[in-house]
Amino acid sequence: MLIVKYTPEHEWLEYNGEVVTVGITEHAAEQLGDVVFVELPEEDTPVTKGDEVVVIESVKAAADILAPMDGVITEVNPLLEDEPELVSKDPLGQGWFFRMKPNDPADLDQYMDEAEYKAHIAGG
């Protein structure tokens, strides 16, 4: 079963029963503008919730993606090395950053579902 959650920092988390794929929302991509560089973590790296995992540089700003939960990075998106603009062009598809195996999948429960996230970006 696929579960999609959203963080207050405008990341999306897609859980397929084993791993969580992490990317940024369209709202965040619009705020950043054209992404020109992405620094990804190493695979098999253990992370703790709140650790800086990804650094994004765009024409407008630099931003960090933090680990949404404790776990291990299992895969990074190889396309972003040569095509960082995918983060801007396809944030919900090919622009994902990394996949991780969470220590406790129940940690996803603390994040927003789609309706809650839409209310969050609308200021509600």
The model's pLDDT over 44-60, given as tens digits with 9 standing for 90+, comes to: 999 999 999 999 999 99
| C-alpha angle 70-24-62 in degrees, rounded to nearest 5 | 95
The model's pLDDT over 65-95, given as tens digits with 9 standing for 90+, comes to: 999 999 999 999 999 999 999 999 999 999 9
Architecture category of domain 3-116 in CATH: Beta Barrel (2.40)
**Which runs of E-coded beta strand occur in the chain?**
3-6, 11-15, 20-24, 35-39, 46-47, 52-58, 62-66, 71-76, 98-102
Write down the pTM of the prediction.
Answer: 0.95
pLDDT for the residue numbered 124 = 61
